[in-house]
């Protein structure tokens, strides 16, 4: 899985660097809240939008993984409770001299 991640990350990084190098022109950016426009490099606008996309993707993944993390936490608690119960029964049966088979 780690190799697949690198196979995706490295080409995307190279493409971003090529994008930065090849798009040095300035563009006017108009935002509806502000009355004036800003002259920004094209690569800045592109990389900003790419960053917003990565942030939104990470946010959606973390929200969707929350239910899995919660289920994992509940399962771990249940497992610890069952192990403690088993140890308690094992020690009780050993005190009475009975043979325990698991």
User: How many domains does the chain fold into?
Assistant: 1
- What pLDDT shows up at residue 95? 66
What global pTM score does this model have? Answer: 0.55
- Residue 76 has a pLDDT of 95
Helix (H) or strand (E) holding 30, with range, is strand 26-30
Can you tell me the distance from the alpha carbon of 86 to that of 93, in angstroms, rounded to the nearest whole number?
Answer: 10
- 90 falls within a domain: no
Q: Kindly state whether residue 34 falls inside one of the protein's structural domains.
A: yes
Percent of the chain with pLDDT over 70: 91
Question: For residue 38, is it within any domain?
Answer: yes
Please check the confidence at residue 102 and state whether its pLDDT lies above 80.
no
Assess if residue 65 is contained within a domain.
yes
Residue 101 lies in a domain: no
The Cα–Cα gap between 51 and 45 comes to 10
Which structural domain, as residue segments, surrounds residue 11? Answer: 2-69
Q: How far is CA 3 from CA 6, 66, 83, 85, in A?
A: 5, 25, 37, 42
Q: What is the pLDDT of residue 99?
A: 60
Q: Provide mean pLDDT across the span 40-64.
A: 86
- Look at residue 95 and tell me if it is in a domain: no
- In this predicted structure, the answer to whether residue 98 has a pLDDT above a threshold of 80 is no
**Residue 11 exposure: Cα atoms within 13 Å on the Cβ side:** 5
């Amino acid at each position: 899985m780690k190799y697949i991640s690198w196979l995706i990350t490295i080409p995307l990084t190279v493409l971003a660097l090529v994008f930065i190098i090849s798009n040095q022109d300035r563009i006017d950016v108009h935002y509806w809240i502000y009355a004036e426009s800003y002259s920004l490099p094209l690569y800045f606008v592109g990389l900003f939008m790419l960053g917003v996309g990565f942030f939104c993707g990470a946010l959606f993944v973390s929200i969707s993984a929350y239910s899995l993390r919660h289920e994992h936490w509940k399962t771990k608690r249940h497992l610890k409770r069952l192990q403690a119960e088993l140890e308690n029964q094992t020690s009780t049966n050993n005190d009475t001299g009975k043979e325990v088979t698991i």
